[in-house]
Amino acid sequence: MSDRTQPSSDRFDYDYIIIGSGFGGSVSALRLVEKGYRVLVLEKGRELKAEDFPKSNWNLKRWLWMPKLGWRGLFQMRFFRHVTVLAGVGVGGGSLVYANTLPIPKRGFFESASWAHLADWERELKTHYATARRMLGAVPNPTFTPVDRIIKQVAEESGKPFDKPHVAVYFGEPGKTVPDPYFGGDGPDRTGCNLCGGCMLGCRHNSKNTLDKNYLYLARKRGLDLHADTEVDAVRPLPGEGGGYRVEAKHGTSRLRRCRRSFTARNVIFAGGVLGTVELLLKLKKDPKALPGLSERLGAKVRTNSESLIGVIGQQRKHDLSRGIAIGSIIQTDEHSHLEPVRYPAGSGFFRTLMAPHVAGEKAAVRLARMLGTLARHPVRTLRAAAVPDMAKYSIILLYMRSMEGTLRFRLGKVAGKRMTSGLESGKSPTASIPEATELAKKVGAKIDGDPYSLITETALNIPTTAHILGGCCMGDSIETGVIDKDHRVFGYDGLFVIDGSSISANPGVNPSLTITALAERAMSLIPPKAARDG
């Protein structure tokens, strides 16, 4: 790997092109612009304003990312053999749909054998976590809703610690707009949160601290170029001795009328998350004119947070459980696992179309028998749950996570141009059947006279659902052991970086957005200002 201080040249359109505008890409954009570099961000999704966000997830065209149908929303679901992945799309990436929570992982993450030999991560990231929380406006959740009360009761009855998360929300006075409260007036106005529960549909009230209101906002004021609706499909080294890359993309919102665009840059940062970065790099590795020399470890060590998503649909109708922020409380079940209640706003019941009674059991025959048994024993309750007038108001979604090891390998399908497929690489295959999660769901259900439900892919196939897919471009000490080095530089290609969730090389066991942000801050801190670099 050559010295990162190699001078850039004005023969390039940009010093850096960043592919993706999520937590890794947005941080990189601001810090590079601040250091004097010419930076372009390319984002395949739309740039959404408050009025573009759906009021409920029944508005599929505004909510879902399914461009083949002409739906260019902010939320995508990808179904793999071993996991169903939920992710964000649009200017601001995952920040548009994530649940605002910004936890710092426990020590086991930093000391994991998968990457602990590369750096003292806990020490090196400490200041960057603090910077990330400040930039994202993280504060301990000051609210206490009926759902939080239920979760606290379950925690006390189970003898487990109850806590409130740090969240990226401006609370202030509900509905009141004030001048920028975070960056000394340099940022946008903000409005106090009204606890509508709509965080994960895109905040319509200017209260959620998404990346377009901090990192990207400040970067654009300092000269960042950003092109939305621009999907990169090629990155090729430029001929000659000067290095650099040509980035090619399709621009436009119509699949039939998209135009080609081409840009050159000395450096390229891949920041499209696992679904974007890993899939693109796998395609570029197969192209002899693109990046065939990428590590054979590309697509390896893909992790989830070993999650279980269970919706508890209550029979009671006296409380509106949709009021509050997306995640407002936590039960820390042990050192390696925890439970969080999640909510959507009133009127958001789309997921009922994909749900079936939650049952435990590793084997398909056992789960099927238990599901049929549940339907036979409780037909009235099942029908009443299916016909719940407003699922968001009368149910609680439970997100259980644990920091257990076990990895997948992502590859391209055998048919040319086919999308990624998953395979088991090491450890046990991810599972939707986690006994502790099931027991906690039953305890929560007892508080609202409710029954647990899961996505049909979990009940029928035991395939878990995750909003936290990580890895695939993991760190190593050589091209034989990793795709990138500890400073996020791609082995074998000077000027290429990966800075997103695909670079996370251990299981954090918690919502990873803060960790991606902190890692990006660290990576950018290692790049000198342009004047020093050119000198």
Backbone dihedral angles phi then psi of residue 335, each to the nearest 5 degrees: -65, -25
Q: Is residue 232 part of a domain?
A: yes
337 in the same domain as 254: no
Output the six-digit token pair for 184: 């000394």
From the list 515, 161, 156, 150, the residue with the least C-alpha distance to 324 is 150
Confidence grade of residue 2 (pLDDT, cut at 50, 70, 90): very low
Judged by DSSP in three states, 213 sits in helix
* Tens digit of each residue's pLDDT (9 = 90 or more) over 36-48: 999 999 999 999 9
Residue range 502-530: mean pLDDT, rounded? 96
Residue range 236-254: mean pLDDT, rounded? 93
What are the start-end ranges of the H helices in 159-295? 215-221, 273, 279-286
CA 266 to chain centre: 28
Q: Is residue 322 part of a domain?
A: yes
Check whether 533 has a pLDDT greater than 80. Answer: no
pLDDT of residue 311: 95
455 in the same domain as 493: no
Residues serving a catalytic function are 468
Amino acid identity at 222: R
Maximum mean pLDDT: which of 211-215, 433-437, 528-532: 211-215
126 in the same domain as 274: yes
Prediction pTM value: 0.95
518: containing domain: 14-47+90-136+210-303+469-534
230 in the same domain as 273: yes
Low-confidence winner among 6-20, 347-361, 379-393, 466-480 (lowest mean pLDDT): 6-20
CA distance 203 to 209: 9
Confidence grade of residue 10 (pLDDT, cut at 50, 70, 90): confident
490 in the same domain as 451: no
Confidence grade of residue 242 (pLDDT, cut at 50, 70, 90): confident
Check whether 314 has a pLDDT greater than 80. Answer: yes
Confidence grade of residue 363 (pLDDT, cut at 50, 70, 90): confident
For tokens 């500890």, the residue is 486
- Specify the DSSP element, H or E, that contains 382: helix 379-386
294 in the same domain as 331: no
Residue range 471-484: mean pLDDT, rounded? 98
128 in the same domain as 101: yes
Q: How many domains does the chain have?
A: 2
Q: Is residue 70 part of a domain?
A: no
391 in the same domain as 354: yes
Residue 120's CATH number:
3.50.50.60
Average pLDDT over the chain, rounded to whole? 93
* Tens digit of each residue's pLDDT (9 = 90 or more) over 219-228: 999 999 999 9
Domain boundary residue among 465, 499, 516? 465
449 in the same domain as 485: no
Confidence grade of residue 8 (pLDDT, cut at 50, 70, 90): very low
295 in the same domain as 335: no
CA distance 216 to 301: 30
Residue range 251-275: mean pLDDT, rounded? 94
CB-based contact 203:211 (threshold 8 Å):
no
335 against 123, higher pLDDT: 123
pLDDT of residue 361: 82
* Tens digit of each residue's pLDDT (9 = 90 or more) over 21-38: 999 999 999 999 999 999
Q: Is residue 154 part of a domain?
A: no
Output the six-digit token pair for 264: 């050159």
pLDDT of residue 532: 66
For tokens 């295959």, the residue is 429
Q: Is residue 188 part of a domain?
A: no
Amino acid identity at 224: L
322 in the same domain as 430: yes
Check whether 93 has a pLDDT greater than 90. Answer: yes
394 in the same domain as 269: no
Check whether 118 has a pLDDT greater than 50. Answer: yes
Q: Is residue 452 part of a domain?
A: yes
Check whether 133 has a pLDDT greater than 60. Answer: yes
